[in-house]
Structure 1
């Protein structure tokens, strides 16, 4: 190929590239290549809290000894009002501490049992601790279940680390009058009020 022919080819290629670069383009319509971004609408936590109507988190009066030693100074968020709370102050004296998550199906049934137990005369306080879940999701689920127990959310796993809770859920502990924490191993999840009453004693 002669030099003149080669130059003709180069000019032709450059001309085609220029036309392609300047050709007008229209954006892909949604559904024809473009993938729309889906985000969950911002949740109004105050509205969700009002709907859940949880009972207030108990707080130890100054003249009462704090709760279990491992929980002293461990701060979580009270689900009912969104304020920080020292977890030890919520379980002074005998109580049940229950760890749960929104994705845990057995937890949901157990929460309803614990709610029924807590309404009985002479029942000890029950404090659910929400883990591995978002605050809004927990509030929405509690409202759906009709569970109004005073609850805390533990987003940083501080409560679970302090008590050395196994990763298995649900998991419950009985707080003794002396502040001791005893893991409930039988049953693995409460299915009746009688079971809770028997374990608590």
Structure 2
């Protein structure tokens, strides 16, 4: 009984459920992207989002999802862009403190694994402008501490469509591991502790070591 209680408490601490106070307003949803100046996007320093290879066709649960790239505001066909390579999709939001802690660890993993895996962040809240502002502030903190800034590509998912497609719980952070054929290997409903934690999880689910 005690061990079960500890597990429940640990999960509650690890994951931040999305509540009414955390949701963006209607104004955020409608005008967020329009308020983001291209220079604001560029100043964050995120990499361009992956683009579909010639003839690539998206398949699996993510097929048909068109999301906005945080780096440039362009729309991408998510499943087609990921086709042919294993992918790690990290779902986060600007208001999620465990997500803020996890993002630099994910960047460290992306640097380690290189082009073998597509590492993509997915902002799962309508307030894209607040996501851009949070990433800019986090990168300022990273540089001030002598650490590498976040450069991973990311997309805006205002309706949490990726979470829904993966069948994941309504909490953050969530990491979705996608096979090259577009099928979902698993989702991880907890924050990662360090880069080795990510590497071990990805190796077990997708067979890619780093």
The structure carrying a bigger helix percent of its residues is: 2
Question: Partners in 2 of 1:141 and 1:183 — Cα distance?
Answer: 28
For 1:6-155, list aligned pairs within 5 A.
43-66=35-58, 68-92=59-83, 93-122=85-114, 124-146=117-139, 147-155=150-158
Cα drift, residue 65 of structure 1:
4.5
Retained in 1: the 8 A contact 2:57–2:79? no
Larger radius of gyration: 1
Query: What SS does the corresponding residue of 1:162 show, helix, strand or coil?
Result: helix
Question: Partners in 1 of 2:36 and 2:166 — Cα distance?
Answer: 32
* Residue aligning to 2:202: 200
Give unpaired runs (5+ residues) of structure 2.
Answer: 1-33, 140-149, 204-210
Retained in 1: the 8 A contact 2:126–2:158? yes
**Consecutive aligned runs of 4 or more in structure 1 exceeding 4 Å deviation:** none
Note closer, same or farther for the CA distance 1:142–1:90 as it changes in structure 2 (3 Å cut): farther
CA RMSD of aligned residues (A): 2.0
How many residues get paired? 158
Note closer, same or farther for the CA distance 1:176–1:51 as it changes in structure 2 (3 Å cut): same
Retained in 2: the 8 A contact 1:79–1:150? yes
Cα drift, residue 134 of structure 1:
1.1
Question: Partners in 1 of 2:181 and 2:53 — Cα distance?
Answer: 17
Retained in 2: the 8 A contact 1:101–1:133? no
Retained in 1: the 8 A contact 2:42–2:72? no
Provide TM-score, normalisation by structure 2. Answer: 0.68
Cα drift, residue 121 of structure 1:
4.5
Note closer, same or farther for the CA distance 1:113–1:81 as it changes in structure 2 (3 Å cut): same
* Residue aligning to 1:178: 181
Provide TM-score, normalisation by structure 1. Answer: 0.71
